[in-house]
Structures are given as structure tokens and as C-alpha cells.
């Protein structure tokens, strides 16, 4: 039929508006898909790399000295899980004529299930990454221990009744966990050799650990089976439980989600702008179709089909575009970490992109196009006043509901959605007010040959377009600002948490008599130490006179109750702790205690509650006088419970603990130290810190990449919006030139007009961004909020500059040719 010919898709394609719409959709789908793919990829690498901290996906730790039953491992294997065994204990070993207290880790053949062991065949041999531990009869030593014992590779170490041959050096084990029991230098041997040593007697302090690895659902199933069988000394550990790292990972995951959500929002804005523009442009065609007798229903169907065609085209192209971008990003991080590149695509993670495309199409593109059928045929002859604005509010409401529903579905973080919604609401509120002021203020400006005035008049003239452009720019900038701000505070956070000289060694078990000497030693070697904290080990037994087991409801899993806590006393609040309730100890105060806030919450303890601790054979009871937050990821000694000096802990047997930074080139100092203070344990966590740094670096890279992508998408959106009024502005430029406007005037006034638009949008966007960041920061990233003056000042200027350049660029065709030719073109 000839009438539908007018509305054929391929003809449409020649229209700019359609191309913009499809481009917006492509960008939308590509951004969301890339972020989703990348996030899932990152999650996989991070989890694998984090799982390495456990040497498996899960650990079962048993502290009561009884081996884990073989039947449990059999069940795990039946569920398709891989398993490995570990036994950890401390003992004296003999070698090279010396005795030395060591911490033994005996492992089965399949250890490690995740991660690798860093190994050196000899002191000057290259380091190797191995996927196994020592074989039966072999032992690997910590290099420092080799020197302490005065042994060579090939020498013999006696562990109890068993002679083991030193076949290499243990540089780093993947699961070099940070636990107080790992006090002495490490040796690693085979688990099958343990019985022969005869070291483990009933009642020995020994920890049996089983490792499991496999698919998530299998792990879940196995855990469900296992749970009822677990005793009080059994602990089921996943990577989420490792404080320092899991905090960083949670934040990183949230950031990725935030980035993805912003991409969804931006994409929706782009599609909305483009489709609205398209619908406006189609009104004449629709009116013509109606005069030709095509019924409204048919027209609707016509446009629906076309919407579907472009939707599929855009989605497909978007995904095709996302793949290489994703691979590029993935190879970037892989290259940085010397990891093998993982090209696999998680198809399931594409769903947000597909749903985004659908929602964008049907919540944003469809309503204005659907309304086309209402265009009166009379329009062919004369446009009807007021036609443009009808039904827009309904569209906006539908769109907002759709997008935030989508966000919620996607991110699953109500707070994030609310924060962004709050930011947007603030933005629209300010914008409505500012728009009203703008119209009021600019009405009085009268144009003159002056570029400033012409620019202001221009803003007023195009107030409707100007306001909607400002709204879109401001929204885009708000999203960009949110991401920039969250990113920098996240990175600052991490930077602060792991400065180059973050403490990477702990000294434990410092007797009271050695405290001053240790301080001297560290001072002499120029080792910046934090502070020496006294430590008393005790168990929390009662809350307000009731046994803890009863006081704390059963379903709350409180690990701190299963083991002894480290209690300390101090006068000054550590700088990274923060009092959230109550007051820190006054000088001279000896009463009371300060409890860490999360533990207090889990125990249901508040100010004034009386806690009773059992320390050896004594008990002490003190009221809670303050609740404080602790920076667990600070790599410094941190304590759940703090008492005042001279308080309840006074006179109880204490040892001291401290941490300091030691560069790898100065490791030799540790030998002097151990020789001089044989009873003090040195805990080397430099490898853990390196590991965390590595992960943080990877995440940082990801964050930067996503930020860059979002900014690119933002620029595309802005370009789409600017180009929506391109033709009008070019016509205006041509006419102004004909009427005698000088080129300079035209250039200046246009650039000024756009710069003002950009400045205004920038200010709005950055303010709304701050609102969103404030909310996000408060709930999701747990950082303190502060104004980001640099961004607040810079972003509006940058956006003004960018838009001015856009404005100048769109004038190009107007300036290059004679007015005569321009007029001919515009006829």
C-alpha cells in the first residue's frame, strides 16, 4: 500500500532522528552489556583470586584437636566437590644442630585447591608457582628458618620421630592466613607424615582443616548437609568472612553495580531523548497518513513494528560492540596481573542489557510514538497550538517507575536506587525553580549587537529546548559526577587503608619485661611502629549477669563467642577508631569498657550493659561506656574490647603486640630480632598485603575503565541532545548571517549560549551528584562524606567548555559557505 510506503523502515533510516535513536540504543546496550560482562568476569577472577586466600572455596576449621571425619569428605566428593586436608600445629624441630619452635602446616596431595604455592628450589633459584605441596618425606622451610637452623637444601629436619628432607623453600602459601596461632616460622610437610612424627598427642593444640572447592550450588548443598553435624569448635569459612579483603571486595562489587546502574540510567535518557525527537519529527508523516485515510490503529501498528525492528537491530549491534570492548578490558587487567586471559563470556550476565533495551524501548521510546496516532490530520494544513507538550508528564512517570524498577532488579540495592532517585528528584526540583527564575530574569534582557546579550536572549528564546537540554545534561552530569565522586572516595579509602608503609609485620607475645627493649630495638632500626598494645586473652561469658549463650539469641551466629577475645587497655583512642555512642575514657578513669560497634550490635549490647569476661581463673565485670567503630582493614592491631589503663585488666597477665612496616630488602633484621628475642613471635603478613594490593589494583583498574566508559556514554548522550536542535540552530545561524550578523558575533553568542547551558547544567548536576553521593556514602560505602570542592568547581567549567565546543562545531556548516547557498539549502 502506497501510504505505508511513506513509513517504511528503510526510508526512515535516512532520517537523522532514527539514526540517533538506534545509536542511542546501541550505546545503551553496549555500555550495560560491557559492564555486566566485565563485572561478572571480574567477580570470577576476584573470587578465584580471593578463594586463593583460603586455598579453596570453603574451609572447615576444627579447633578441638579431633580430625575431621573421612565420611564428611566422602560426602563432599559425592556432591562433586574437590577436597584437601591440612593439619596445623606448633612444635620444636631439630636441624643443623639447633632447636627451633616452628609452626607446621601438613598438607595432603590435592592442596591447594585454589591459588598456588610460591616455591624456591634453592636460595638463589628462580621462584616457581606450584599447585602442590611437598611430597611424603619432604619438607619445605621458610627461608629465614633455613638460616636460623643453619641448614642447607638437602639437609635433614627432625619433626618429632620423623626425619624429613629439606627439598625447597616455602616463599608463600596461598592461604597464609592472618591468625594468632601462626606464631613461629613456617614449615610445610605432607599430611601423611604427621602420624609418624608422634607429635600429636591427645590434648595437643592442633587444628584440622579441610578444604572444599567446586560449584556454588554444590557447596551450598554440602553445607546444608554438613551444618547439623558441626560442633561448637567447627568453623565453616568462606572468603566473605575474611574481614580486610571482603570489605574491599564488597565495596568494589557495589561500585560495579553502581556503574552498571548509571549506565542503565544514561542509556534510558539517551533513548528517551532520541525517541521523543523522532516522534516529533514523525508528526507530519502521521498527519499525512491520516489524510490519506490510514486508521490510527494501523498507524500504531506500523510504528510498533518499526520500533521492534530498530530495537532488535540496536540490541544486536550493541551486544556485538560490547564483546570486543569487554575482551579489551579483560585483557588489560589480565596483562597487568600476568594472568592467563579468560575469554569466556558469561551469557547469563547479558540479561541486564537485554532488559534495559526492552525497558528503554517500551518505557521511553514507545509512549511518544504511541501518542503519534493522536496527531490530528488537520496538522497537514496547520500545526495546532499546544500539541507538543501533551501527555509528557505521564511519559515521565512511566519512565521513572520503569527505570527504577529496572535498577532495583539489577542492583538489588534499595539504598542505591533511593540515593539516585533522591539525587534526580533534587535535580528536577532545583531545575524547575531555576527554570522559572531563568524565564523570569531573561525576559527582561533585550538583545543588542553584544554577544552576551544575544546569548541570553537565545537562552530565553529557546527556553523550552534549553530547559529540557539542561535537564538532560544535568542528569548526565549528575550520573557522571556521582561515579567520579564515589570512585575518588573509594580509591582514597583504599589508598588510606593500604599506604605504601602499611604495617606488614606483627610482633606477638612480647612479655612485659621486653616491652621497652623491643621499643628500643625498633627505634634503633628506624622501624616506625604504631604503638605497643597490651593484650589479655579472655572469653566473654555473661551479659548483664546472664550467660552469653542465653543472652544472645540462637539464630545469631556470633563467632566472637566461640573463641577467646583479645582484650586490651589504652589511654588514647586510636586515630582510625570513632566513637559512635557514649564517651571515651577520661584521664584517670578506671571504670568501664569500650566495645566495637558491629559486635555490640550482634550481641545486642548497648551503653550501660555489664559484660563479664573470664580470664584464666578470674572474672571481671564492667559496664559498656562507649561503642566505637574499628578500621578492620587497617592492618594494625585492632580490638573488640578496650579497657582504660588501670582498669579491670590491671594486674592480669598480659603480653604486648605491635605492628610495623619492614621493606623486603631489610628482612634480615628479623633474624637479629628473633635471635635477640627468641620468645617473641614475628608474624609476616607482607605477602597478604601484597595480595590485597594486587586485588585492589585490579579493581581500581576496573573502576577506571567503567568510569571512562560511562563518561563516553555521557558525551554521546549530550551530543545526541545537542544535535536534536541542530537543524533549527543552523537555520537560525543562516538567517542571522543574512540579516547582517557578523560571523564573530554569531560564534561568540552561540558559544556563550552553550557555555551558559553547560555551566548551569554542570552546577545542577554536580549538586545533585553530591546529594546522591552523600546518600550512597552514608549507606553503601561507609566512608565519611565531605564536599569534593575540586569536582564541584571543575565539572561545571568542563561541561561549559565541552558544550561551547559542541555549539561552535554545529555552527561550522553555517560559517563555511555563503549565506546565499545556506538559504538555498534551507528552502
Residue 320, interface with another protein (CB under 8 A)? no
The closest alpha carbon to 204, from 192, 195, 212, 213, belongs to 195
Give the C-alpha separation, 15 to 20, whole Å.
Answer: 9
Give the C-alpha separation, 24 to 34, whole Å.
Answer: 15
Stretch that binds another protein, among 361-369, 382-390, 471-479, 611-619 (CB under 8 A): 382-390
Residue 736, interface with another protein (CB under 8 A)? yes
Eight-state DSSP code of residue 592: -
The closest alpha carbon to 766, from 806, 732, 719, 800, belongs to 800
Subset of 281-300 contacting another protein (CB under 8 A): none
Peptide bond preceding 112 in cis form (omega within 30 of 0):
yes
The closest alpha carbon to 104, from 201, 237, 197, 202, belongs to 197
What distance lies between CA 349 and its chain's CA centroid?
17
| Rounded least distance, CB 383 to another protein, Å | 4
Residues 400 and 425: beta-carbon distance below 8 Å: no
What are φ and ψ of residue 610, in 5° steps?
-100, 125
Residues 613 and 567: beta-carbon distance below 8 Å: yes
Residue 383, interface with another protein (CB under 8 A)? yes
State which of residues 457, 472, 535, 776 lies at the interface with another protein (CB under 8 A).
457
Residue nearer to another protein on the CB measure, 155 or 819 = 819
Write down the residue that cell numbers 555486566 correspond to.
Answer: 36
Residue 276, interface with another protein (CB under 8 A)? no
| Rounded least distance, CB 23 to another protein, Å | 24
Subset of 154-173 contacting another protein (CB under 8 A): none
Write down the residue that cell numbers 591447594 correspond to.
Answer: 112
Residue 735, interface with another protein (CB under 8 A)? yes
Residues 248 and 108: beta-carbon distance below 8 Å: no
Residue nearer to another protein on the CB measure, 16 or 667 = 16
Subset of 739-778 contacting another protein (CB under 8 A): 739-745
Stretch that binds another protein, among 16-24, 181-189, 299-307, 731-739 (CB under 8 A): 731-739
Eight-state DSSP code of residue 459: H
| Rounded least distance, CB 319 to another protein, Å | 38
Residue 732, interface with another protein (CB under 8 A)? yes
Give the C-alpha separation, 421 to 402, whole Å.
Answer: 12
In a 3-state reduction of DSSP, which class is residue 611? strand
| Rounded least distance, CB 820 to another protein, Å | 4
- Using CB under 8 A as the binding criterion, the count of chain residues that bind another protein stands at 36
Write down the residue that cell numbers 628458618 correspond to.
Answer: 145
Q: For another protein, what does the binding mask look like between residues 458 and 487, x meaning CB under 8 A?
A: ---xx--x----------------------
What are φ and ψ of residue 22, in 5° steps?
-65, -40
Give the C-alpha separation, 372 to 161, whole Å.
Answer: 90
- Pull the grid cell for residue 132: 602442590
Residue 227, interface with another protein (CB under 8 A)? no
Residue 16, interface with another protein (CB under 8 A)? no
State which of residues 165, 519, 581, 731 lies at the interface with another protein (CB under 8 A).
731
Residue nearer to another protein on the CB measure, 279 or 483 = 279
State which of residues 572, 591, 728, 782 lies at the interface with another protein (CB under 8 A).
728
Stretch that binds another protein, among 178-186, 614-622, 733-741, 795-803 (CB under 8 A): 733-741
Q: Where are the beta strands (DSSP E) in 467-510?
A: 505-510
Write down the residue that cell numbers 571504670 correspond to.
Answer: 591
State which of residues 232, 429, 441, 449 lies at the interface with another protein (CB under 8 A).
449
Residue nearer to another protein on the CB measure, 373 or 737 = 737
Write down the residue that cell numbers 633484621 correspond to.
Answer: 669
Stretch that binds another protein, among 104-112, 322-330, 710-718, 817-825 (CB under 8 A): 817-825
| Rounded least distance, CB 450 to another protein, Å | 7
Residues 172 and 687: beta-carbon distance below 8 Å: yes
Residue 447, interface with another protein (CB under 8 A)? yes
Residue 737, interface with another protein (CB under 8 A)? yes
Residue nearer to another protein on the CB measure, 382 or 554 = 382
Residue 434, interface with another protein (CB under 8 A)? no
What length is written for the chain? 827
Residue 820, interface with another protein (CB under 8 A)? yes
Q: Which residues bind another protein (CB under 8 A)?
A: 382-383, 385, 446-450, 453-454, 457, 461-462, 465, 728, 731-732, 735-745, 818-821, 823-824, 826-827
Amino acid at each position: 500500500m502506497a501510504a505505508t510506503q511513506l513509513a517504511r523502515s528503510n526510508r526512515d533510516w535516512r532520517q537523522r532522528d532514527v539514526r540517533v535513536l538506534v545509536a542511542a540504543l546501541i550505546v545503551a546496550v553496549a555500555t550495560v552489556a560491557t559492564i555486566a560482562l566485565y563485572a561478572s568476569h571480574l567477580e570470577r577472577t576476584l573470587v578465584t583470586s580471593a578463594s586463593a586466600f583460603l586455598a579453596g572455596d570453603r574451609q572447615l576449621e576444627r579447633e578441638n584437636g579431633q580430625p575431621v571425619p573421612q565420611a564428611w569428605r566422602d560426602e563432599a566428593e559425592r556432591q562433586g566437590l574437590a577436597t584437601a586436608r591440612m593439619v596445623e600445629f606448633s612444635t620444636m624441630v631439630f636441624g643443623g644442630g639447633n632447636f627451633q619452635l616452628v609452626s607446621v602446616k601438613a598438607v595432603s596431595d590435592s592442596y591447594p585447591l585454589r591459588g598456588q604455592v610460591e616455591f624456591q628450589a634453592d636460595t638463589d633459584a628462580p621462584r616457581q608457582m606450584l599447585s602442590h605441596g611437598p611430597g611424603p618425606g619432604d619438607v619445605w622451610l621458610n627461608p629465614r628458618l633455613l638460616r636460623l637452623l643453619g641448614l642447607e637444601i638437602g639437609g635433614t629436619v627432625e619433626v618429632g620421630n620423623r626425619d624429613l628432607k629439606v627439598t625447597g623453600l616455602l616463599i608463600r602459601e596461598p592461604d597464609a592466613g592472618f591468625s594468632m596461632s601462626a606464631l613461629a616460622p613456617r614449615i610445610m610437610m605432607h599430611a601423611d607424615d604427621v602420624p609418624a612424627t608422634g607429635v600429636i598427642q591427645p590434648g595437643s593444640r592442633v587444628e584440622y582443616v579441610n578444604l572444599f572447592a567446586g560449584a556454588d550450588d554444590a557447596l551450598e548443598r554440602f553445607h546444608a548437609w554438613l551444618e547439623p553435624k558441626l560442633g561448637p569448635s567447627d568453623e565453616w569459612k568462606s572468603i566473605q568472612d575474611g574481614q580486610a579483603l571482603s570489605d574491599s571486595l564488597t565495596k568494589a562489587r557495589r561500585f560495579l553495580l553502581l556503574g552498571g546502574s548509571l549506565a542503565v540510567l544514561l542509556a534510558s535518557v539517551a533513548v528517551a531523548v532520541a525517541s521523543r525527537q523522532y516522534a516529533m519529527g514523525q508528526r507530519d508523516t502521521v498527519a499525512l497518513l491520516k489524510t490519506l485515510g490510514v486508521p490510527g490503529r494501523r498507524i500504531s501498528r506500523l510504528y510498533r513494528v518499526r520500533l521492534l525492528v530498530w530495537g532488535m537491530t540496536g540490541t544486536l549491534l550493541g551486544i556485538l560492540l560490547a564483546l570486543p570492548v569487554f575482551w579489551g578490558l579483560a585483557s588489560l587487567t589480565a596483562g597487568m596481573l600476568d594472568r592467563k586471559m579468560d575469554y569466556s563470556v558469561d551469557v547469563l550476565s547479558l540479561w541486564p542489557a537485554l532488559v534495559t533495551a526492552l525497558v528503554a524501548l517500551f518505557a521511553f521510546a514507545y509512549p511518544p510514538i504511541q501518542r503519534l496516532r493522536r496527531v490530528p490530520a488537520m496538522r497537514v494544513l496547520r500545526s495546532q497550538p499546544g500539541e507538543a507538550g501533551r501527555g509528557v508528564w505521564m511519559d515521565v512517570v512511566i519512565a521513572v517507575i520503569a527505570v527504577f524498577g529496572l535498577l532495583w532488579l539489577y542492583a538489588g540495592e534499595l539504598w542505591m536506587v533511593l540515593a539516585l532517585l533522591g539525587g534526580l528528584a533534587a535535580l528536577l526540583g532545583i531545575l524547575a525553580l531555576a527554570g522559572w527564575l531563568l524565564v523570569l530574569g531573561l525576559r527582561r534582557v533585550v538583545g543588542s549587537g553584544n554577544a552576551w546579550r544575544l546569548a541570553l536572549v537565545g537562552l530565553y528564546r529557546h527556553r523550552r529546548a534549553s530547559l529540557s537540554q539542561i535537564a538532560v545534561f544535568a542528569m548526565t552530569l549528575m550520573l557522571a559526577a556521582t561515579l567520579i565522586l564515589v570512585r575518588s572516595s573509594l580509591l582514597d579509602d583504599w589508598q588510606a587503608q593500604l599506604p605504601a608503609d602499611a604495617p606488614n609485620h606483627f610482633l606477638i607475645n612480647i612479655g612485659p619485661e621486653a616491652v621497652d627493649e623491643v621499643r628500643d630495638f625498633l627505634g634503633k632500626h628506624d622501624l616506625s611502629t604504631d604503638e605497643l598494645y597490651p593484650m589479655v586473652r579472655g572469653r566473654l561469658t555473661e551479659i548483664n549477669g546472664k550467660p552469653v549463650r542465653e543472652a544472645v539469641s540462637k539464630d545469631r551466629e556470633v563467632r566472637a563467642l566461640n573463641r577467646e577475645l583479645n582484650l586490651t587497655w589504652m589511654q588514647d583512642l586510636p586515630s582510625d577508631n570513632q566513637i559512635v555512642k557514649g564517651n571515651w575514657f577520661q584521664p584517670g578513669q578506671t571504670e568501664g569498657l569500650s566495645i566495637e560497634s558491629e559486635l555490640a550490635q550482634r550481641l545486642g549490647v548497648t551503653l550501660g550493659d555489664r559484660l563479664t569476661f573470664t580470664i584464666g581463673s578470674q572474672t571481671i565485670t564492667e559496664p559498656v561506656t562507649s561503642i566505637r567503630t574499628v578500621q578492620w582493614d587497617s592492618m594494625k592491631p585492632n580490638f573488640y574490647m578496650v579497657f582504660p589503663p588501670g582498669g579491670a585488666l590491671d594486674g592480669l597477665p598480659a603480653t604486648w603486640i605491635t605492628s610495623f612496616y619492614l621493606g623486603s630488602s631489610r628482612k634480615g633484621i628479623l633474624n637479629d630480632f628473633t635471635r635477640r628475642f627468641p620468645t617473641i613471635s614475628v608474624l609476616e603478613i607482607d605477602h597478604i598485603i601484597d595480595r590485597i594490593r594486587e586485588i585492589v589494583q585490579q579493581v581500581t583498574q576496573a573502576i577506571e575503565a567503567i568510569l571512562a566508559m560511562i563518561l563516553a556514554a555521557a558525551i554521546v548522550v549530550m551530543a545526541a541532545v545537542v544535535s536534536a536542535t541542530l537543524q533549527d540552530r543552523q537555520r537560525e545561524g543562516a538567517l542571522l548571517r543574512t540579516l547582517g550578523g557578523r560571523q564573530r558575533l554569531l560564534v561568540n553568542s552561540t558559544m556563550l549560549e552553550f557555555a551558559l547551558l553547560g555551566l548551569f547544567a554542570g552546577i545542577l548536576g554536580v549538586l545533585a551528584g553530591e546529594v546522591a553521593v552523600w546518600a550512597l556514602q552514608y549507606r553503601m560505602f561507609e566512608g565519611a562524606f565531605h564536599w569534593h570542592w575540586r569536582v564541584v568547581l571543575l565539572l561545571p567549567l568542563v561541561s561549559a567548555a565541552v558544550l561551547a565546543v559542541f555549539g561552535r562545531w554545529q555552527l561550522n556548516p553555517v560559517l563555511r559557505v555563503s549565506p546565499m547557498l545556506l538559504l538555498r539549502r534551507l528552502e
